[in-house]
A = this chain, B = another copy of it.
Amino acid sequence: MKLLKTLAPAVALIVLPGLALAQDAGSAPDVNPYIFTTLLFLIGGFLVFWMAAGFAMLEAGLVRSKNVTMQLTKNIALFSIAAIMYWLVGFGIMYPGDWLIEGWLGPFFAVTSLEPVGLAAEEAALDYASAGSDFFFQLMFCATTASIVSGTLAERIKLWPFLIFVVVLTGFIYPIEASWQWGGGWLSEAGFSDFAGSTLVHAAGGFAALAGALILGPRIGKYRDGKTVPMPGSNLALATLGTFILWLGWFGFNGGSQLAMGTVGDVTDVSRIFANTNMAAAAGAVAALILSQILYRKPDLTMVLNGALAGLVSITAGPLDPSLFGALWIGAIGGIIVVLTVPMLDKLKIDDVVGAIPVHLFAGIWGTLVVPVYTDGTSFATQILGIVAIGAFVFVTSAVVWLVLKAVMGIRVSEEAEITGLDMSELGMEAYPDFSKG
């Protein structure tokens, strides 16, 4: 993690609104580095935006056809809500000028957010890149956290309670825990290291999903007489497309997290990150392919897809420092984790429709734990501290929100609606009306 990330926006938010352009700021920015880094945020940002489409396709492909319209609706809605909530409160909480509780809790409301000039105030304050590009890039990470949750809870959760959870997650839970590290809070002070968010984004999303899965319960008929009933995804072509989209977007996710591209050293680092990210994904896919062949005598495409994703999650906490060989074994172990833990969750009757908990939570923890092997100045103890602190915070706050939603409005569709499928029962609209069901 680069410290400039934690400092500059914090300054930005306390500057008075104004239409001044960046070059009018007190310290004139160094032109080309400013442009290169801003460009990195823009390219990285649109690549991470693209991951929202990846999650939508992955999840639409892995649910049964009777729940596809609902899954698509949740995905586009959650991204849109994240975009609004992160602007309204999240960004201010995540990069606090004045902490409410020093290092732990930022201000709940960023006054400048509602000023007519909005972002303009901040534009004047950053001297290494445009604040608009920084906001654009950071927003995408917040949305990604929410995308992780929707897959786990698919096929049985009601739309509106889910979206209310997204409001809280993207407006408060994610920004608070992310401020501890990327906002310059207590975890970054403690020496925790999570370059692009194996824990801050992926494990956090996984913890929120786990809390939801426990409170929501498994789908009807998923666990019967001590056995797990397969409920195969309706469109593996879409699921594969989603995986490729996520893989592509991850170059922006990890590469953009270098947060600088204006020097030879920085762009060289971004390149290493690209190469390592690709290697970890490939290794995760190959490991899952081979292991599923060994364990089940048949390769399992959904394991291969999740293996690639787990490889990506695994390298996300430290994509810069490992060699390509390091990225290979870190990613491969990520893929192995997925193949081994998917059935484990089923044994515990935790019903995770798309495998998001193995991929994002378990591989996210793995990736965070392994950082000290290649990154100087980090320690296993501090990495564990970060995982436990963020895990506990996200899991507990998420569970509270889920329980409140359950008590107030119910979070689960009726049994009849679930069996019919959410598309017809909740939305009255089939995703594939012309194709008769087998």
Chain A positions near chain B (C-beta within 8 angstroms): 21-23, 29, 31-32, 34-36, 38-39, 41-43, 45-47, 49-50, 52-53, 56-57, 60-61, 64-66, 68-69, 72-73, 75-77, 79-81, 83-84, 87, 113-120, 123, 130-133, 135-136, 139, 159, 232-238, 240-241, 243-245, 247-248, 251, 255, 261-265, 267-268, 270-272, 274-275, 278-279, 281-283, 285-286, 289, 298-302, 304-305, 308, 322-326, 328, 426-438
Contact = CB atoms under 8 A, between A and B. Distances in A.
A157 to B, nearest CB: 14
A345 B239 CA distance: 33
A267 B437 contact: no
A83 B60 CA distance: 28
A232 B427 CA distance: 13
A436 B438 contact: yes
Contact of A69 (B22, B267, B285, B301): B301
12 contacts: A21-B264, A57-B237, A61-B237, A76-B244, A76-B308, A84-B286, A87-B279, A120-B323, A237-B238, A298-B427, A300-B429, A434-B438
Contacts of A77: 285-286, 289, 299, 304
A383 to B, nearest CB: 20
Contact of A237 (B72, B81, B263, B426): B72
Nearest to A36: B35
B278 A236 contact: no
Given A80-B286, A264-B29, A304-B73, A272 B325 contact: no
A426 B49 CA distance: 36
Contact of A46 (B47, B53, B326): B47
